[in-house]
Amino acid sequence: MATQIPPDFSISKQISPIQNTSDCMDTKELWDVLYSVLPTSITVIFWGGLLGNIFALSIFLLLRRRLTVAEIYLTNLSASDLVFVMGLPFWAESIQEQFVWPFGHALCYIVNGVVKANMFISIFLVVAISRDRYIALVHTMSSRIQRSQRQAQIICVFIWFLGGLLSIPTFLFRSVEIVPGLNISTCILQFPHRLWYSIRIIELSVAGFILPLIAIIFFNSQIITSLRGRTKTNIRRSGKTRNTKATTLIPTLVIVFIICWTPYHCFAILEYLFWMKAVQGCFWEELIDLGLIYANFFAFLNSCLNPVIYVFVGKLFRVRVCEAYKQCTTKCSM
């Protein structure tokens, strides 16, 4: 039940379809679809994310040149996405086995802790990327002072450290337990005190989504306002507009990130409200149980989409691909 097992990345099963009573809606078909379709879909996303992010990292790292500030952030985002998707096969297998966890206690907290850490790392990197674009496009005159490779590297190291720090509760309190009433051994988050559930939602949705989202919206709104002002100035002076296609990569990454992650955090907050008895009833319980799992699917989808965005939206990235191809063909012909 959702009131007994507050999920953390929903690798535990909160409710079984066979437990439906006459007061609950019939969700057996939805659970059947989940068990049959979701594992295969997650496996596809895993391979897409694995190959795509390895490709992106190879383009960023194999060229014999210093990375730009923007490329440093994008390289770290690709690395985070790559680590993130490594947890997908475990999640797919767990769903395939109807949420039985067959991988042992150690992998229970390691897999979930690493996934949780990279969830924080991803959104903090999106904030850093948005801030970097804000400085480059809005504060152009001072951007050389505020934007340096060294500073970007320090920020990325701090983000990885902060992500690991925020995932410590997951490493500590994840364990394989037998769920009462379901008679299955599953990987669940068991806090030693009720206060931890409130700390978790503050950490997860406030520090890990709402506050970063506010920062992302601020930076990108300032960028849009600045670019519109410059466009109007260019039209008045020359009657022409500048091509801003090169600036569309970051907004696209931000928009896709928000679309993929918003459902998960909405259901996480709703689940906390249910646990606090702010919302009650069988309908809400069923909705939260299924919603969290399907929302996790869309959250994981983000790590697969980012490399696709680099290729189809990132003009500079395509230039780097051409450079890498020329280097490889030159070496092969020698």
Cα within 13 Å of Cα(57), Cβ side: 14
Nearest to 303 by CA among 257, 248, 252: 257
**Amino acid sitting at position 265:** H
Nearest to 45 by CA among 315, 307, 254: 307
Identify the three-state secondary structure at position 189. strand
Q: E strands within 225-321?
A: none
Residue 147 confidence (pLDDT)? 77
Residue 169 confidence (pLDDT)? 87
Under a CB-based contact definition with an 8 Å cutoff, are residues 5 and 14 in contact? yes
> How many separate helices (H) and strands (E) can be counted in the chain?
12, 2
Sign of the CA dihedral with 48 first, then 52, 55, and 61 last: negative
Residue 154 confidence (pLDDT)? 94
d(CA 3, CA 259): 27
Nearest to 87 by CA among 123, 58, 111, 59: 111
Listed by start position, the domains of the chain span: 24-235+245-326
Tens-of-pLDDT digits for all 334 residues of the chain? 333 333 444 433 343 343 444 456 667 777 888 888 889 999 999 999 999 999 989 888 876 678 888 889 999 999 999 999 998 999 889 888 888 898 988 898 899 899 889 989 999 999 999 898 888 888 776 666 667 889 999 999 999 999 999 998 888 888 888 877 677 888 888 888 778 888 888 888 899 999 999 999 899 888 888 877 766 565 555 555 444 444 677 788 888 888 999 999 999 899 888 888 888 888 888 888 888 888 988 888 888 888 888 877 777 777 777 877 777 666 655 5
Residue 3 confidence (pLDDT)? 33
Identify the residue whose tokens are 């990130």: 257
Under a CB-based contact definition with an 8 Å cutoff, are residues 159 and 127 in contact? no
Residue 332 confidence (pLDDT)? 58
Q: Is the pTM of this model over 0.85?
A: no
Residue 12 confidence (pLDDT)? 36
Under a CB-based contact definition with an 8 Å cutoff, are residues 194 and 108 in contact? no
Asked if CATH classification 1.20.1070.10 holds for the domain at 24-235+245-326, the reply, yes or no, is yes
